[in-house]
Amino acid sequence: MKVALISLDQKWEDKTYNLNRCVELTSRAVAFGAELMIFPEMTLTGFSMNTCQVAEISATSSSLHAFREIAKKYGIWLVAGVVLQEEEKAANTLVVFSPDGDEQARYVKIHPFSFAGEDRVFSPGRLLVKAQLLEFRLGFSICYDLRFPELYSALAKDCDVLVNIANWPKRRINHWMALLRARAIENQVYVIGVNRTGMDGNGLEYERSSVIIDANGDCLEPMITEGEIDIYHLDHQLLDTFRSGFSTRQDRVPDLYRDII
């Protein structure tokens, strides 16, 4: 499977500009043979807690409609982040669309980033979300979720690839890389991290750090890099070979972990 990671330089809370960039980048990635596009967290706004301004009602969401149409027009799988309004708070949400434009999965971030006050305006999700994409089964997470290994252990029970979309600042980028590697090594899966670039409306700087880590903890090399696009090839056989040659998953004791955590 050819996967395009989009290190989008998001323009702060400008949905029109960011959507146009998503269309342009999708068109270019498809020309390179990409089968799956993955965009950063809160794709069309950047990490904004101004939910009165950026949140959308699910049934009438222009962002959901736009991503659906992009997937359908270009015949590609697409993963993106949106802010959806719930009863009292908003939901930091990841959505997955199939090449025919159907929504295949919707994940709400389980761990709001309380250090920055995200929990005051965003409701936490309570469900694990997975989806079958071509020959791979993917599990989904958003940004701060990466610091909680229990989530990834649960997803990895029947997933081959764990995806995290993020707005992870440059000042803690060493944590980003270390945690992505740890999640891949401990679960013997591919881990995909897609992070934004540029500067946000809060003055936080982001650096290019989207990456795919294999089950051995090594960063894969992209087949193609152009602008904000990196295209990788994921090989299921390589993952199977690694697991069969050095397997640790069978030695877990989840009943014990539940009792002691």
pLDDT tens-digit readout, 9-27: 999 999 999 999 999 999 9
pLDDT of residue 221: 98
Query: Does residue 258 form part of some domain?
Result: no
Specify if 44 maps to a domain: yes
Report pLDDT digits (tens) over 173-215. Answer: 999 999 999 999 999 999 999 999 999 999 999 999 999 999 9
Q: Is residue 249 part of a domain?
A: no
Q: Quote the number of domains for the chain.
A: 1
- Cβ proximity of 248 and 187 under 8 Å: no
Q: Is residue 84 part of a domain?
A: yes
Catalytic annotation, pick one of 22, 130, 143, 159? 143
Domain that holds residue 57: 2-243
What was the pLDDT predicted at 54? 97
Residue 13 included in any domain: yes
Residue 170: which CATH number?
Answer: 3.60.110.10
pLDDT reported for residue 87: 83
Paired with 56 in beta bridges are 84
Inside any domain, residue 101: yes
Q: Which amino acid is at 251?
A: D
Tens of pLDDT, residues 122-163 = 999 999 999 999 999 999 999 999 999 999 999 999 999 999
Contact 123, 90 (CB under 8 A): yes
Of residues 109, 118, 130, 159, which has the active-site annotation?
109
Active site residue 41: yes
143 is catalytic: yes
Q: Which two tokens stand for residue 200?
A: 């946000």
Choosing from 35, 41, 56, 228, the catalytic residue is: 41
Residue 91 maps to a domain: yes
- The pLDDT tens digits for 55-88 are 999 999 999 999 999 999 999 999 999 999 988 8
Whether the model pTM is above 0.75: yes
Q: What is the DSSP string of the chain?
A: -EEEEE--BPPTT-HHHHHHHHHHHHHHHHHTT-SEEE--SSTTT-S---HHHH-B-GGG-HHHHHHHHHHHHHT-EEEEEEEEE-SSSEEEEEEEE-TTS-EEEEEE-SS--GGGTHHHHBPPP----EEEETTEEEEEEEGGGGG-HHHHHHHTTS-SEEEEEE---GGGHHHHHHHHHHHHHHHTSEEEEEE-BEE-TTS-EE----EEE-TTSPBPPPSEEETTEEEEE--HHHHHHHHHHS--GGG--HHHHHHH-
So what's the pLDDT on residue 86? 87
At residue 11, the pLDDT reads 98
Tokens of 82: 């949106």
Q: Is residue 261 part of a domain?
A: no
Predicted confidence at residue 79, as pLDDT, reads: 98
